[in-house]
Amino acid sequence: MISYCTGLFTSAIVYRQYFHRLRYFPGPWEAKITKLWHVWKCRGGQNHLFIDELHHKYGSIIRTGPEELTIIDPSAPRVLDGPGNTCEKAVWYDFLLPEVAVNTTRSKKHHDIRRRIWDKGFSAKALSAYERRVINYTEALTSQIDQISREGEAVVVTDWFYWYAFDVIGDVAFSKSFNMLRDKQWHFAVKLLRRAMSLLGPFSPVPWLAQIAFHFFPWAYLIRDWFKMLRWCKQRMEERIHSTMDKSDVAHWLIEASPKNGSLTSDQQWLNGDAIAILIAGSDTVASTLVFTMFEIACNQSRQNLLFHELQDLDIYNREKLQHCDYLNAIINETLRLHPAVPTGGYRQSPPGGLIVNGTYIPGNVTIVSPRYSLGRLGSCYEQPRSWIPERWTTKKEMVKDATAFSPFSIGRYSCVGKSLAMMELRFVISMLVKRFRIDISDMDKGDRLFFDLRDQFTAAPGGLELRFHPRT
């Protein structure tokens, strides 16, 4: 048995190193042998930094696994997700099975059917129904920050922005807020979700290992939290199915579409999966973007003043007017470029016949990922790529050399269905806080924890950040 295993592993290593169809692509020798090496490297949850380091060492196309390529080229997003692409979602997206959601199904047919239902929940009419709720939570957030500031205390905005984002999505998704802004503490279900999400950091490179762990070790600490979180989401959807409320929310559209086809029971796995998907995609992304935006605004007083002057005489409760605030939108875009809400996620599988990326042939049935964190810092696409300069989207457009690399909400059929809601939240919070307060970095916090503790767990999980808010006279 020992000699058999030795021969098996030796032959696999030799084949993957010297005879595999991806052997000509550069990358660490360990990556050519096994993805477990990648798990070890990103065990601390900072895969975005590790991949960026590989990019600077090996170039724009890196072999990061026996059957995986990481491509950091501005044309990659269009090739992988743009119109007419023939790629499919990779096996990574099976992590929710047996539940399945609109953003995890690998079937284009099923995705398109489900996406049409989701689109109703984020239509212009639906967004108008959500608007007052978003404003109410934004006012509650502003009021809490004002109270803390008047007591002379710094505000741990990381907590407050997460509480805000989850309260909003709980209400918009299920008409049931987590009430964390009111209670000033984490809801137990959100704590479960955030702990469970930490699994996606080290397990993302090897989704099959996660499935093994889920199957054989459901009692283990973080895995136990994962299943508790899944059960809680299922219970919320079950409650919403049997609720008689008429209040408009996203779940209303998902549930309504099932009985029309006589399929509410058979759609249960879709409804459960969608419940999980909307909580994750609709909260973490908004919260992390708010944290990084406020950090940059606090560090750039002159640009904060420019934004204040743009908002000074504006009705910031008018969503349509905020949509046309050039500098506000530039600030959001620049934050999404430099600090993407999904740093390295978005695994795709090349079609059987392969594809071409910037003149390079990629063989078929290869896992491909094009990380936004590194794409947003390409010197070939942006001048001073590691600096936060909102003007590159307004008065200094020459600083954007190639805008095709910028796709914070993805593109094509897999583009973010909740983009309009997310932008509404971002615009309301940023405009309300900047118009009401002058914002500074706390003397005790220069942003070190924000980046040192930043974790890439599919969505970005920033570290703690303390800011001081000074009421404007």
Binning pLDDT at 50, 70 and 90, where does residue 446 land?
confident
Task: State mean pLDDT over 88-92.
Answer: 91
Binning pLDDT at 50, 70 and 90, where does residue 11 land?
confident
- Per-residue model confidence as pLDDT tens digits over 214-262: 778 777 777 888 888 888 888 888 888 887 776 788 988 888 887 655 5
Binning pLDDT at 50, 70 and 90, where does residue 267 land?
confident
Record the pTM. 0.94
Average pLDDT over all residues of the chain: 90
Task: Write down the domain spans for the chain.
Answer: 21-471
Binning pLDDT at 50, 70 and 90, where does residue 101 land?
confident
Binning pLDDT at 50, 70 and 90, where does residue 184 land?
very high
What's the confidence (pLDDT) of residue 200?
Answer: 80
What's the confidence (pLDDT) of residue 358?
Answer: 93
What's the confidence (pLDDT) of residue 333?
Answer: 98
What's the confidence (pLDDT) of residue 157?
Answer: 96
What's the confidence (pLDDT) of residue 55?
Answer: 96
What's the confidence (pLDDT) of residue 160?
Answer: 98
Q: Is the pLDDT of residue 293 over 90?
A: yes
Q: Is the pLDDT of residue 434 over 90?
A: yes
What's the confidence (pLDDT) of residue 382?
Answer: 98
By percentage, how much of the chain surpasses pLDDT 90? Answer: 64
- Per-residue model confidence as pLDDT tens digits over 388-428: 999 999 999 999 999 999 999 999 999 999 999 999 999 99
Binning pLDDT at 50, 70 and 90, where does residue 266 land?
low
What's the confidence (pLDDT) of residue 238?
Answer: 84
Binning pLDDT at 50, 70 and 90, where does residue 12 land?
low
Q: Is the pLDDT of residue 345 over 90?
A: no
Q: Is the pLDDT of residue 201 over 70?
A: yes
What's the confidence (pLDDT) of residue 248?
Answer: 84
Is 325 marked as a binding-site residue?
no
Task: State mean pLDDT over 189-210.
Answer: 84
According to the 3-state scheme, what is the secondary structure of the chain?
A: CHHHHHHHHHHHHHHHHHCCCCCCCCCCHHHHHCCHHHHHHCCCCCHHHHHHHHHHHHCCEEEEECCEEEECCCCHHHHHHCCCCCCEECHHHHHHCCCCCCCCCCCHHHHHHHHHHHHHHCCHHHHHHHHHHHHHHHHHHHHHHHHHHHCCCCEEHHHHHHHHHHHHHHHHHHCCCCCHHHHCCCCHHHHHHHHHHCCHHHHCCCHHHHHHHHHHCCCCHHHHHHHHHHHHHHHHHHHHHCCCCCCCCHHHHHHHHHHHCCCCCCCHHHHHHHHHHHHHHCCHHHHHHHHHHHHHHHHCHHHHHHHHHHHCCCCCCCHHHHHCCHHHHHHHHHHHHHCCCCCCCCCEECCCCCEEECCEEECCCCEEECCHHHHCCCCCCECCCCCCCHHHHCCCHHHECCHHHCCCCCCHHHCCCCHHHHHHHHHHHHHHHHHHEEEEECCCCCCHHHHHCCEEECEEECCCCEEEEEECC
Q: Is the pLDDT of residue 449 over 60?
A: yes
- Per-residue model confidence as pLDDT tens digits over 121-147: 999 999 999 999 999 999 999 999 999
What's the confidence (pLDDT) of residue 162?
Answer: 97
What's the confidence (pLDDT) of residue 5?
Answer: 60
What is the CATH code for 21-471?
1.10.630.10
